[in-house]
Amino acid sequence: SQKIEQNSEALNIQEGKTATLTCNYTNYSPAYLQWYRQDPGRGPVFLLLIRENEKEKRKERLKVTFDTTLKQSLFHITASQPADSATYLCALTSDSWGKLQFGAGTQVVVTP
Amino acid sequence: DSGVTQTPKHLITATGQRVTLRCSPRSGDLSVYWYQQSLDQGLQFLIHYYNGEERAKGNILERFSAQQFPDLHSELNLSSLELGDSALYFCASSFEGADNTEAFFGQGTRLTVV
């Protein structure tokens, strides 16, 4: 069966450090992978999309890598700030249309 | 503000009842997705509509149904409600399929079944 796995343990990190999150998937052949941020009780907010032919993508302090051989994506938050505290979700589709499925997410807590 | 509007924001109802959740997508978006998020659970994909047609289905219960209307708004109908249906229900929209473009989420409808 198809699975999207993210580390269920919260990541506690000190302000200014780099947070690295992992997303592993099985039985998918995605052309795209997305990352979202979700705050408690609110809808997810899109952060980054990376295509299968892109090894790395950056947006401000965020960096995403995508390794289709390892079936893994890494999400980095550099120079982390307390405002970065949230749950981060990876998402991908099993086909070209619809069924955008999400991992369970990893909670990040940035302390001053 | 994502541009996706969900109503109502909160809903409290009794077991056995039926409710309708409404979603207005962003202007110009043709796809609407519905998700269920129970307490401390991940987002569970329910169903996807594109321009009025059902495109993909997740593990949606038979007691649940959805539709997308010609004006592209969507409704999720939940019937014979059980306590376990209490959850946040999110709607998301995108221009086409969400595989190659971002999905925009509404703020959700919090359903409490008592």
Query: Residue B100's pLDDT is what?
Result: 67
Query: Inter-chain contact A43–B42, Cβ cutoff 8 Å?
Result: no
Q: Indicate the pLDDT class of residue A27, thresholds 50, 70 and 90.
A: confident
Q: Where are the beta strands (DSSP E) in chain B?
A: 5-7, 10-13, 19-24, 31-37, 44-50, 53-57, 64-68, 74-78, 87-94, 104-105, 109-113
Q: What residues of chain B lie within 8 A of the CB of A41, using their CB?
A: 88, 108, 110
pLDDT, tens digit, 9 for 90 and up, residues B56-100? 888 899 999 999 999 999 999 999 999 999 999 999 999 876 566
CB contact under 8 A, A102 and B42: yes
Looking at chain A, the whole-number percentage of residues with pLDDT higher than 90 is 74
Contacts with B102 from chain A: Cβ below 8 Å: 34, 46, 49
What pLDDT digit, counting tens, does each position of A56-99 carry? 999 999 999 999 899 999 999 999 999 999 999 999 876 656 67
**Nearest residue on chain B to A5, alpha-carbon basis:** B42
8 Å CB contact of B2 and A45 = yes
Residues contacting residue B17 through CB under 8 Å, at least 6 positions apart = B81, B113
Which pLDDT belongs to residue B34? 96
The C-alpha of A83 sits at a distance from chain B's nearest C-alpha, in angstroms, of 18
Q: Smallest Cβ distance to A96: which of B2, B88, B97?
A: B97
The number of residues making up chain B comes to 114
A28 and chain B in contact, CB less than 8 A: no
- Tell me: pLDDT of A105 over 80: yes
Mean pLDDT of chain B: 93
